[in-house]
Amino acid sequence: MDRKDQAPILNFMEKGSGPALVLIHGLMMSHKMFETVLPAFAEKHRVICPDLRGHGGSDSLGPPYTIPQLAKDVIELLDRVQVDRFDLLGYSNGGIVAEYIGATYPQRVRHLVLGCAYAYNRDSLREKIEAAVVPWIIRGIGMKRFSHFMFSRTPEIGPELADRMAEIMASNNKQLMLKAYHEGTFFDARPILSKIEAPTLIIAGGKDDAVPMHHAKELISGIKGAQAEILPEGRHTLIWTHPDYFVTSTEAFLQIANVRQSKTT
């Protein structure tokens, strides 16, 4: 069937060869947020990085932007590119999409990695206030000013990379991001964590103010057999400040998990 006769699919980037590794970006970002780790991952994997519905090059795909819909989109993309089983990595809010995929399509996910992720982002009073205020800020100042304000608070990544990431965020449509933000911050994945069967690694930063350590602890306790890698000095930006650590931790986990699975089959 010609692609023009098929339903639209997510925009995506693909690089490398080997076992499939799917990277799920954070809220209001795109696949481009993985630029610092992509070359290293592509040395050993067929890396597939989709732009979630409404984000990046997938902005022509309209609502709903619910977590189940975002997960369904990813599975449909993988079906289209003929990927059956895959390793899955979700970062920040992308972690919720990854958790939903892991819980809903357990036969598809070999291993799961969650970076600076959470199951529910309205645990604390600060998070509740932030979830209520952020949409009003975006409406008031627009995506460009909001994005540069957000990354002005990350001096640890340096001005050049901060500007690059701010531009990636700013390129998203304001109205679509407001809808995606609402869905992403209201979804509660805690009830489905126990359904995740894939060996899971939680990577977290000890100084992550955006997603504090209690979220990592909640994931560790909720996902059976989950392992943890905690970088004490890491912040929410650790994928950019410590890309080697992030890649090495992920690769070591995937290698060990593969060995353990081969011994039990």
Is residue 223 included in any domain, yes or no? yes
Q: Please report, in tens digits, the pLDDT of each residue of the chain (265 residues total).
A: 233 345 678 999 999 999 999 999 999 999 999 999 999 999 999 999 999 999 999 999 999 999 999 999 999 999 999 999 999 999 999 999 999 999 999 999 999 999 999 999 988 888 999 999 999 999 999 999 999 999 999 999 999 999 999 999 999 999 999 999 999 989 999 999 999 999 999 999 999 999 999 999 999 999 999 999 999 999 999 999 999 999 999 999 999 776 666 555 5
Is residue 173 included in any domain, yes or no? no
Is residue 131 included in any domain, yes or no? no
Please indicate, yes or no, whether the overall pTM of this predicted structure exceeds 0.85. Answer: yes
Is residue 240 included in any domain, yes or no? yes
Displacement of CA 4 from its chain's centroid (Å): 29
What per-residue confidence (pLDDT) applies to 46?
Answer: 98
- Contact partners, residue 16, CB within 8 Å, separation at least 6: 41, 42, 43, 44, 45, 46, 47
Largest Cα separation within the chain, whole Å, is 56
The string of pLDDT tens digits covering residues 202-252 is: 999 999 999 999 999 999 999 999 999 999 999 999 999 999 999 999 999
| Number of structural domains found in the chain | 1
Is residue 95 included in any domain, yes or no? yes
The string of pLDDT tens digits covering residues 190-201 is: 999 999 999 999
Is residue 116 included in any domain, yes or no? yes
- CATH number, domain of 83, equals 3.40.50.1820
Is residue 36 included in any domain, yes or no? yes
Is residue 83 included in any domain, yes or no? yes
Domain boundaries, position 210: 3-121+189-264
What per-residue confidence (pLDDT) applies to 258?
Answer: 67
Contact (Cβ atoms closer than 8 angstroms) between residue 24 and residue 97? yes
